[in-house]
């Protein structure tokens, strides 16, 4: 029944577009900075290529075999107890929650493209108060950019897989790579490059502990967009002649390269200015703008390119968060694509506005529950509970519940018997174990 499909390259760019996002360019560098650099990068790489890639492949074959929306996929592929297993498909709800805070960050990025042109803050202190003031007091400006972002996302989704998603990724992802290449070449010429390289690749176990391992595991999931049926949904429109193992390997490698290059670029700039690498979430919105200012007109050009690249990466990810829910409404509830897009966008839009308000001085009391405001709750619930749950459920389903011959038949031709066995082992034992540890730790049940 499947309408239009991705072309081979279109599919690869689309899953790359989903995976490469704020997680790579904004989050990866700052958590690397906070967790000791090289040692953290090493663990991150190990996890991405074992646990991360295994779940990634699991989602791909689910989508490829069933060619349906997420709920129907689990229903159709479970040999028994269909009415229970189909609920794994509702892991797409995680995407709806993420899409209500993720575009808030895109709204900041759009605002910072303007800031780069004419009003870069002159020092880190100034940059810090500027950012805090913007995120807490400029509600209207945030809502304005947030609305723009939502209209763009809804427009792309309403056009469908081929004319919307594929076309968007076909232009933005190559553009992103180009900008990054240019920025990387420039950063070679900076004095801080050597230090940045050393920081990223030489393990320093001093700032590294068991907690860092779990952060690395959690980030491997976030960074690859797994555990919420996104990759599954995109893969339901895969073309038959796609080599799934090569495609998965390619995307995972590109995802990792983007993160590492982002780190090299950012840390080169930071070390050149003798700034500190462990400034946390403010690295991109506070430390960098202040350094861009110091760099004079080169800094302005750099800043604009940097924020444009960040916006491209984030928008292609955001689009992929909505599509699974839209596909569900179309295939299971008989919605038209337009109506499904409008429904899901409206829900996320309203949640997103609430997330913005929850950070503002005027409304934060109303929208803070316990020790977190709504924005932080959305982030916490998705990364500490929903995403790990989705990840465990998907792995267990593919590794234990699904017809093993079907799985084998769909993978062995691409990866051979040996790699298939390794893959199955990881999916069966390592993945659930690590995710469970991550979840218990984040929920504060386990402390180590």
Q: List residues binding ligand TRP (CB under 6 A).
A: 18-19, 21-24, 95, 98, 222-223, 225, 228, 230, 317, 320-321
How far is CA 241 from each of CA 68, 232, 369, rounded to the nearest angstrom?
18, 17, 50
- By beta-carbon proximity to ligand TRP, the closer residue of 124 and 262 is 262
Q: Which is nearer to ligand TRP, 24 or 272 (CB)?
A: 24
Closer residue to ligand TRP (CB): 293 or 328: 328
Query: At closest approach, how far in Å is the CB of 102 from ligand TRP?
Result: 7
Shortest reach from residue 202's CB to ligand TRP, in Å: 25
Least Å from the CB of residue 323 to ligand TRP: 9
Alpha-carbon distance values, 52 to 24, 26, 246 (Å): 14, 19, 15
CB atoms within 10 A of CB 33: 24
Residues in the chain, how many? 448
Whether 262 and 187 have beta carbons less than 8 Å apart is answered as no
| Buried-exposed string 68-100: b where 16+ CB fall within 10 A, e elsewhere | bbbbbbbbebbeeeeeebbebbbbbbbbbbbbb
**Closest distance between ligand TRP and the C-beta of residue 76, in Å?**
22
Between residues 256 and 264, which has the closer beta carbon with respect to ligand TRP? 256
Asked if 238 and 73 count as a contact pair (C-beta separation under 8 A), the reply is no
Residue 106 Cβ, how far from ligand TRP at the closest point, in Å?
11
Are residues 77 and 402 in contact, defined by beta-carbon separation less than 8 angstroms?
A: yes
- Residue 278, exposed/middle/buried by CB under 10 A (0-12, 13-18, 19+)? middle
Q: Which is nearer to ligand TRP, 223 or 402 (CB)?
A: 223
- Smallest separation (angstroms) from ligand TRP to the CB of 417: 31
Mapping DSSP to helix (H, G, I), strand (E, B) and coil, where does residue 381 land? helix
- Shortest Å distance, C-beta 152 to ligand TRP: 15
- Residue 237 · residue 11 · CB < 8 Å: yes
* Of residues 378 and 420, the one with the C-beta less far from ligand TRP: 378
Q: Which CB, 26 or 420, lies closer to ligand TRP?
A: 26
Beta bridge partners of 203: 37
- 250 φ/ψ sector (left φ>0, alpha ψ -120 to 50, else beta): alpha
Structural contact between residues 443 and 384, judged by C-beta atoms closer than 8 angstroms: yes
């Amino acid at each position: 029944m499947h309408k239009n499909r991705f072309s081979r390259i279109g599919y690869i760019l689309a899953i790359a577009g989903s995976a490469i996002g704020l997680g790579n360019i904004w989050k990866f560098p700052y958590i690397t900075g906070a967790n000791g650099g090289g040692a953290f990068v090493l663990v991150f790489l190990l996890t991405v290529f074992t646990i991360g890639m295994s779940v990634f492949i699991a989602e791909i074959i689910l989508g490829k075999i069933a060619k349906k929306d997420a709920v129907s996929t689990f229903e159709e592929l479970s040999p028994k107890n269909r009415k229970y297993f189909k609920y794994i498909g509702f892991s797409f709800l995680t995407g709806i929650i993420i899409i209500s805070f993720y575009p808030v960050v895109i709204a900041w990025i759009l605002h910072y493209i303007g800031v780069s042109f004419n009003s870069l803050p002159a020092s880190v202190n100034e940059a810090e108060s500027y950012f805090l003031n913007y995120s807490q007091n400029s509600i209207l400006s945030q809502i304005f950019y947030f609305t723009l972002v939502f209209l763009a996302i809804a427009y792309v989704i309403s056009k469908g897989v081929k004319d919307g998603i594929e076309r968007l990724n076909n232009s933005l992802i190559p553009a992103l790579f180009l900008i990054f290449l240019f920025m990387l070449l420039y950063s070679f010429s900076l004095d801080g490059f050597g230090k940045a390289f050393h920081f990223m690749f030489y393990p320093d176990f001093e700032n590294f502990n068991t907690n860092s391992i779990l952060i690395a595991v959690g980030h491997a999931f976030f960074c690859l967009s797994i555990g919420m049926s996104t990759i599954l949904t995109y893969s339901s429109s895969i073309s038959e002649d796609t080599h799934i193992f090569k495609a998965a390997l390619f995307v995972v490698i590109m995802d990792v390269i983007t993160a590492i290059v982002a780190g090299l670029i950012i840390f080169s700039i930071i070390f050149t200015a003798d700034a500190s690498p462990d400034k946390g979430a403010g690295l991109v919105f506070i430390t960098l703008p202040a350094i861009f200012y110091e760099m004079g007109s080169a800094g302005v050009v750099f800043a604009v390119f940097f924020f444009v690249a960040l916006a491209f990466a984030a928008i292609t990810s955001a689009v992929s968060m909505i599509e699974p829910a839209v596909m569900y409404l179309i295939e299971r509830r008989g919605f038209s694509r337009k109506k499904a897009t409008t429904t899901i966008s409206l829900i996320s839009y309203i949640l997103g506005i609430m997330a913005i308000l929850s950070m503002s001085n005027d409304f934060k009391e109303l929208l803070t529950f316990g020790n977190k405001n709504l924005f932080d709750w959305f982030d916490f619930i998705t990364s500490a509970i929903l995403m790990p749950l989705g990840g465990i459920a998907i792995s267990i389903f593919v590794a234990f519940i699904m017809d093993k011959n079907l799985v084998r038949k769909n993978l062995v031709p691409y990866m051979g018997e040996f790699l298939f066995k390794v893959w199955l082992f990881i999916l069966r034992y390592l993945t659930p174990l690590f995710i469970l540890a991550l979840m218990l730790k984040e929920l504060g049940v386990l402390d180590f």
